Amino acid sequence: MGKKGVWLQIGIGSADLIPIATSEFGFEFHHAERGHVMLAKWLPKDLPNTLPGNASHTVGVGAVVTDSSGRVLLVKEKSGPAARMNIWKLPTGLVDAGEELSDAALREVREETGIVAKFDFLGGFTMNHVGNPAHPHKSNMFFIVKCSASSSDISIQESEIAEARWFTREEWAAMPFPEKGCIWHALNQSALEGKARLDMRQLPLGSSRPGHRMFYYPVPTPAL
């Protein structure tokens, strides 16, 4: 049939077929989701395997949220590295599949603190190639998102957040974390004092391709 690669998706209800696919037919694991595992097999013996690999990156966001007085919203987590360090930090989280960076930041702020905010702009971003226990050997792209709160009333997410408070810029700057000059400090400052920012607008894909996509573009104006 002229095919070089074969994809085989096996649902969780048919998991007993996995050892048959791997041992008898030579399929290899490609990736897994909650409801299925995807296997693949490269057929040519004399050609290099060009099937695309599994997703190589996760995407995270941190939200610099300010209120009408210019105070910044920070949280203390109940578990994880930040909790063990006992530090105040920005609301953060991973972007879900099909979710825009702006929507992810606003969702994380609302989930962790109960604060409803609006998207202002994107600041800087960084990449981490260490991975974590949930995503070993995966790189992570982490974006800082500047947001403005519509109210100051906090209602924390009891399961994950130990405390959430508003701090003045001076109070935040006096904290030991993040250290001045480190990557996290630079990211935060890109959302507060940067001379450029990334704005966004929705644009069509084109006359021959229905649909729209968000376009993030630089705007050479003061962040605040």
Q: Which residues are catalytically annotated?
A: 111
Other residues' Cβ atoms within 10 Å of the Cβ of residue 114: 15
Distance CA 165, CA 115 (A): 11
Distance CA 122, CA 68 (A): 19
Coil vs helix vs strand at 121: strand
Of the candidates 145, 151, 154, which has an alpha carbon nearest to the alpha carbon of residue 68? 151
8 A C-beta contact, residue 30 and residue 54: yes
Of the candidates 3, 1, 94, which has an alpha carbon nearest to the alpha carbon of residue 50? 3
Other residues' Cβ atoms within 10 Å of the Cβ of residue 190: 21
DSSP 57-70: EEEEEEEEEE-TT-
**What residues are paired with 148 via a beta bridge?**
66, 118
8 A C-beta contact, residue 38 and residue 30: yes
Distance CA 132, CA 51 (A): 25
